[in-house]
Amino acid sequence: MPQTYDVSRKLLRCVLKTFLSPLTMEQESECLKKMKNGDLEARNELIERNMRLVAHVAKKYQSPEDEMEDLISIGTIGLIKAVETYKEDYGSRLATYAARCIDNELLMHFRAKKKTSKEVSLYEPIGTDKEGNQIQLLDVVVSEDEDVVELLEQDRKVRRLNEIIPQTLSGRELFIIINRYGLYGKKTMTQREIARKLGISRSYVSRIEKRAIEKLRQAF
């Protein structure tokens, strides 16, 4: 059984340089104001810029019996309802409110099909925090401190990176990445400390680290 490595955010940022973000608070607020005045383009903008949230929530429900496209279509209904009923005085971002609506729409779909064995609720575990405590989807949805889409996206990427690290890197590359980024419960080490440990130069450690990150980026 292959070992699973606990990917740090720092390593994830190195492998994944950029990714799209939803609307900023200012852009979202502006679109909501325009939509209230009957601006259809603003409404569509709010829907389109939150479609990643639909995909991420829907992914939790995917099974051999359910096509992802169908789940996204169902989830989009929840998103549209959220956009059309959301009020800024709810005290949370649109994404937080929309995640609940999307989740409810999908749950209603599964209840209607009476596939209770495939139901996924807000209490489904999606990972662990830095202390090793289990994180549930509910913890993410109700959070007002971090963006829901970003958290779900990061969780998916961390899981993927966990899978490819032991499959992609050589023994020495793996040792350097684990110790440089404090993976698998290890203490973070500097390149100089690793160089002393391996009996090689710091510049050589740097080259191996860069090569390893590039290999992970290509495999991701």
pLDDT reported for residue 23: 85
Residues 109, 179 share a domain? no
Residues 154, 74 share a domain? no
Give pLDDT tens digits for 45-98.
898 888 888 888 888 887 776 677 788 888 889 999 999 999 877 777 898 899
Q: Distance between CA 193 and CA 197 in Å, rounded?
A: 6
Last residue of a domain, one of 82, 117, 141: 141
Based on the number of CB atoms within 10 Å of its own CB, is 133 exposed (0-12), middle (13-18) or buried (19 or more)?
A: exposed
Domain of residue 1: give its range. Answer: 1-18+147-220
- pTM for this entry: 0.46
Residues 162, 65 share a domain? no
Residues 97, 29 share a domain? yes
Residues 131, 61 share a domain? yes
pLDDT reported for residue 204: 93
CATH number of the domain within which 69 lies: 1.10.1740.10
Would the pLDDT of 117 be above 70?
no
- Does residue 19 or residue 75 have the better pLDDT? 75
Tokens for 133? 């405590």
Last residue of a domain, one of 113, 141, 169: 141
Percent of the chain surpassing pLDDT 70: 69
Q: What total of structural domains would you count in the chain?
A: 2
Would the pLDDT of 10 be above 90?
no
Residues 187, 119 share a domain? no
Instruction: Find all residues with CB under 8 Å of 93, minimum gap 6, and list them.
Output: 25, 28, 144, 147, 148
CATH number of the domain within which 169 lies: 1.10.10.10
Residues 70, 46 share a domain? yes
Q: Distance between CA 35 and CA 50 in Å, rounded?
A: 15
pLDDT reported for residue 149: 59
CA dihedral 184, 187, 190, 191 (to 10 degrees): -40
Residues 37, 9 share a domain? no
CA dihedral 66, 72, 75, 81 (to 10 degrees): -150
Residues 7, 83 share a domain? no
